């Protein structure tokens, strides 16, 4: 994944966004966004993956496994991931 600053991303947007490489957009060395290009052949897989993610998030919120704030914190790239809950250690969820 290529790392670019916000200004560079703005100045070279058309060039950077037409490539096949993912981008980590950074401000002062800290990631503030991520761009992942999708090829037309991956559109179906992307839709399936997003639907599975949507269902997993809805289930986690409905079952009280986490709050919306806890979920949002997982997507904040400036924060470290929370420690793995010991009762879930070794369990992996396959999506897709």
pLDDT at 75: 76
By three-state DSSP, how is residue 5 classified?
A: strand
Q: What's the DSSP call for residue 12?
A: T
Q: What is the DSSP string of 15-69?
A: HHHTSSS-EEEEETTEEEEEE----GGGHHHHHHHHHHHHHHHHHHHHTTSS-HH
The predicted pLDDT at position 87 comes to: 54
pLDDT recorded at residue 32: 83
Blockwise average pLDDT, block size 10, the chain, 96 residues:
85 84 84 77 72 85 84 77 58 44
CATH class, domain 1-37, is alpha beta
Instruction: Tally Cβ neighbours within 10 Å of residue 25.
Output: 19
Q: Name the residue ranges covered by the structural domains of the chain.
A: 1-37, 40-96
CA separation for the pair 22, 38 (Å, rounded): 9
């Amino acid at each position: 994944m290529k790392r670019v600053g916000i200004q560079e991303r703005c100045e070279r947007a058309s060039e950077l966004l037409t490539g096949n490489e993912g981008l980590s957009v950074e401000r002062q060395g800290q990631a503030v966004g991520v761009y992942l290009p999708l090829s037309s052949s991956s559109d179906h897989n992307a839709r399936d993956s997003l639907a599975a993610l949507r269902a997993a998030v809805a289930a986690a919120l409905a079952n009280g496994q986490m709050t919306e704030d806890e979920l949002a914190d997982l997507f904040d790239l400036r924060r470290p991931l929370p420690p793995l809950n010991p009762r879930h250690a070794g369990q992996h969820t396959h999506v897709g």
